[in-house]
Amino acid sequence: MSDQRPIGVLDSGLGGLTVVKEVIRQLPNENVIFIGDEARMPYGVKTHEQIISYTREMVQYLISQNVKLIIYGCNTATANALLQLRKEFTVPMLGVIQPGSTQASKITKTDHVGIIGTESTINSKSYDKTIAAIDPKIKVLGIAAQKFVALVEGDKADSDEAKKNIETTLRPFKDSNYDTLILGCTHFPMLKKQINNYLPETKLVDPAVSTVETAKEYLFKNDLLTDSQTRTLKLHATAGIDEFAKLAKRWLKTDIDEISLVNIGG
Ligand code: DGL
């Protein structure tokens, strides 16, 4: 059996492309369709209800594209909407928080794990609860780094402004017991080099890696992998398509079959 239907990936914006890149690396023959809700981002400062409602519209869009699995390439959507939307739709859906927490719990030697994410993700305490369920010994410190999202979206990763913001925001992790830091927002791997420059001793965890491993295992077990030797990659955004296309091409460095604007919701 072979299932050629695409894997859907969603995010509020560009960040989900870090998950798309990982899908391409681990599942190079799978068709992929991505949607980034640039029109309404950032999600990290929205209410729980708004995040559920916007994510629902992206899920509906991806279902209309006949996806076989939806990966939430967004921690904020995972923290706020995944449990609710799993009750509403039958399409399989995977988030980044459980796999990211498992990965970090295995890596830490000091039993101290830092989390950086959007305001909403940090306030939700989703990582804290998930890690506590895996290993209650592990001490967790979550810090909101909402500004990092704007730095990535504004193509300012290499700026002085980014350097200063990283230093101020991540100071509590400097020379601390926190040997492992979860990049708990999918935009943040786009600042990995800069974060690593400031915290060279800290192990940075990108949850995309273990999330896509989980997705691969799920597709394999359920006989849903494709046997095709070629793939199609389609990227959609709900606004700002030119800037989105420029940054997407630069980040993914691969053949993209389509980049276009779509309208969802009202
Ligand atoms: N990339 C998203 C995340 O992983 C959200 C960024 C935002 O829209 O605030 O949480």
| Atom nearest to 12 CA in ligand 1 | 8
First to last CA, the chain: 39
- Find the catalytic residue in 185, 208, 235, 248: 185
- Distance from Cα 111 to the centre of ligand 1, integer Å: 26
pLDDT at 265 (0 to 100)? 77
Please indicate whether residue 185 is annotated as part of the active site: yes
Which of 43, 46, 78, 123 has most ligand 1 atoms within 8 Å of CB, for mutation? 43
| 186 CA: nearest ligand 1 atom | 4
Å from CA of 41 to ligand 1 middle: 8
| 255: nearest Cα among 42, 32, 14 | 32
Q: What is the pLDDT of residues 66-122, one digit of tens each?
A: 999 999 999 999 999 999 999 999 999 999 999 999 999 999 999 999 999 999 999
Residue ranges in the chain modelled with pLDDT below 50: none
What Å distances lie between residue 245 and 38, 137, 241, CA to CA? Answer: 12, 44, 6
The whole-number pLDDT of residue 266 equals: 62
Domains and CATH numbers, the chain: 7-95+209-261 (3.40.50.1860), 97-207 (3.40.50.1860)
Q: Quickly tell me which residue has 């492992």 as its tokens.
A: 180
At a CB cut-off of 8 Å and minimum separation 6, what does 259 contact? Answer: 234, 235, 236, 237, 241, 244, 245, 248, 249
The residue type at 217: E
pTM, entire model: 0.97
Mutate to test the pocket of ligand 1, among 118, 151, 153 (most ligand atoms within 8 A of CB): 118
Q: Is 199 a known active-site residue? A: no
Structure tokens at 232: 């199609």
The CA 230 to ligand 1 mean position distance, Å, reads 30
